Every structure is written in C-alpha cells, then in structure tokens.
Amino acid sequence: MHAAGRRSVAHWIARRVALTTFTIAAALAVTFALLSLAPGDPLALALDSRELPAEALARLRAVYALDQPPLTRFLTWCGALLRGDLGWSLARQEPVRDVLRGALPNTLVLCGLAGLLAFALGSALGAWQGAHAHSRRDHASSLISLGLYAIPEFVLALLLLLVFAWRLRWFPAGGVTGDFATYLGTAARLRDRLQHLVLPVGTLALIACAVVSRYQRAAMIDAVREPFVRAARARGATERRVLVRHAWRAALSPLVTLLGLYLPVLVGGSLFVERVFAWPGMGSALADAVLARDYPVVLAIVAIGSAATALGALVSDLLHPLSDPRVAQA
C-alpha cells in the first residue's frame, strides 16, 4: 500500500476512534444527567429506607461521593473508568465488575443464539421472498413477518409464556435452570438449560427474523434486476445458481450493515424479555439499577452498550466490502 493509502486508512481509523469516543461520552453524560434529575435519594433506596441519624447519613454520602456536585461525580467516575474501575454498586453492595460478571454471560448467550437464528432464518426467508416477489406465497409470508415486526417484545414474550409455558406446559416459565438442575447428570442438565432458553431466545429471534427478512427481501428484489444477474442468465447459468451465487451474494451487503447495527438493538430488546422470563442478564440488572438509582451499575451497562453499538458499526463497515465485490473494487 502506498503512502497516500496508508495516510487515508490512518485518518479513517482516527476519525472512527474519535467518533466512537464522543458517542460513548455523550451517552454516558445524558444518562448521568437523567439519573441526577430523577427524584429520590439513591443512598436511601440502597439502605432500604431505614432511618439513620443525620450525621451517619452525611458520612455515608461523603463515602460514596454523593455530597459532591453532579458534574464532579461524573468526571470522577469517568476517571475511574479509564483506570478500569467500574465503581461500587450501592444497591447490591458489591463491585460493579461482579454484577456484570454474573449478568453479561447470560445476555451474551441469549442474544447470541437469538441473533444467529434470526439472521440465518431471516436471510433465507427474505431471499426466498425476493426471488418470488409479488406472488401469493410472498404476500402471505410478508404479512406474517410484518405482524411479528409490529408486536412489541414484551407482548410476544407474554403470549409465548401463556401458550407454551402455562397452557401447554412444554417449556419452563422462566429462569436459567430448574430448581434441581445441580442434581442432574450432564445430558439432563444440558437439556434443562436448552429448555429454559427456548422461549426467551424464540421471542427475540422471531422479532429480529421479521426485521432481517424485510431487509433481505428488498435487497434481493433489487439484486435480481442488476445487469450482472441478467448476464449470468444469458450465459446459460441455472436459475438456482443465478439466485444463490450472484443475486443473493449481492443482496447480503445491506444485511451486513444491519448485522453490525442491529445486534446492540437486540441486546436492548432483551431488557423486556429478561424481565418476563426472569432471565438474570444485563437487561434485568439495568432495570433493577434504574429503579434503585444505582448510578455506577447503570453507567457501566450504558458504557458497554454504547461501545457495542460503535463496535457493531465498525464491524459492518469492515465486512461491507467482503459481501459486495463492487465495493471492494471501488
């Protein structure tokens, strides 16, 4: 790569790093401002509203730096974050790092499986719809996808809970494992874990699959009209080869962009799903922290979410040329 190209790449990386840093800082500042403006005393909530002498309460507020102005507290927390210190949870009375250590893996498992299913099934369904655009089958499947897309996460979660957990009793109603999972063998414990995953993963995957299929359908319709697709047909290639090798590959480009940007949305949508199914992940931890005015936990989760969003956008930019050769050649 010549010198001008290296300078261009370095400039692009520097610009993206600066934009990412600004995005995370802005998200944290807005979140902290909203928490500071909310009514209630976080220390009183953390102490379960127990009455304390005024002097003891003042000393506790000084220990947790709650007697400082909001701007000072925010800058102090940012400085600690840069040193790798996420702070201390007021509500749980443990390091924020430990709170996230218990919640983050559960959310990654939940959203990872949901995202994998959603993008695998949604891309295949959308490509099939695009290849059979405006047919009766396309209209029927598009109507179902649109209906799923219009349903809020918590409504679909409650419907699945009502039908499959309460009425049919096919799957457990909530939690990560059953009450007696520790006494089961390896195979039975794995089966129990998978059974607890079906409803929350299915809720997220169904809604995300509807979104992915709509994007993939529109991209596939545009791709089959491209000149290189018509040229492939003119060369005598089979319809299956034209659709899969040429049209679908070109139609994956918008989907790659969606992949980078939608995964953080999927994590945000897990907030309602985790509450409905009593799943101890980041969404549940965030909801509990907001109700308890637990500033350090809320800010740490927002920081992780902002970083995931920025990283997703960066990954989509890097994968975009791989999915569409025309971009790589430009």
Residue 3 placed within a domain: no
- Residue range of the domain that includes 230: 102-329
Taking residues 100-127, what's their average pLDDT?
Answer: 86
Residues 79 and 109 in one domain: no
Q: Which of 33, 66, 89 is the last residue of a domain?
A: 89
The mean predicted confidence, pLDDT, of the chain is 78
Is 2 among the domain residues?
no
For residue 191, being part of any structural domain is answered with yes
Mean pLDDT of 259-276: 74
Residues 196-218 pLDDT 10s:
889 999 888 888 888 888 888 88
pLDDT in tens, 14-38: 787 788 788 888 888 888 888 888 7
Supply the pTM of this predicted model: 0.78
Amino acid residing at 205: A
77 and 114 belong to one structural domain? no
| 70 within some domain | yes
Q: Of 226 and 301, which is predicted with more confidence?
A: 301
Cα(176)–Cα(168) distance, integer angstroms: 20
Instruction: Answer whether 77's CB lies under 8 Å from 296's CB.
Output: yes
Residue 145 and residue 238 in one domain: yes
Q: How many independent structural domains does the chain possess? A: 2
Task: Write out pLDDT tens, residues 56-70.
Answer: 777 777 777 777 888
pLDDT of residue 330: 47
Q: Examine residue 4 and state whether it is found in any structural domain, yes or no.
A: no
Same domain assignment for residues 127 and 60: no
Task: For residue 186, count other CB atoms closer than 10 A to its CB.
Answer: 7
Judgement on whether residues 111 and 79 belong to the same structural domain of the protein: no
81 vs 28, 309, 318, CA distance in Å?
Answer: 11, 18, 28
Report pLDDT for 328. Answer: 46
Task: Answer with the one of 56, 89, 122 that is the final residue of a domain.
Answer: 89
Domain at 297, CATH number: 1.10.3720.10
Q: For residues 324 and 226, what is the distance between their CA atoms, to the nearest angstrom?
A: 13
Residues 138 and 66 in one domain: no
pLDDT at 50 over 70: no
Of residues 261 and 158, more confidently modeled: 158
Quick one: average pLDDT of 253-259?
72
Q: Does residue 47 share a domain with residue 172?
A: no
Pairwise pLDDT comparison (324 vs 93), residue with the higher score = 93
Task: Please check whether residues 39 and 108 belong to one and the same domain.
Answer: no
Distance CA(304)–CA(97), nearest Å, equals 12
Q: How confident is the model at residue 228 (pLDDT cuts 50, 70, 90)?
A: low
User: Are 213 and 129 spatial neighbours (Cβ–Cβ below 8 Å)?
Assistant: yes
- Indicate the residue among 89, 111, 141 that finishes a domain: 89
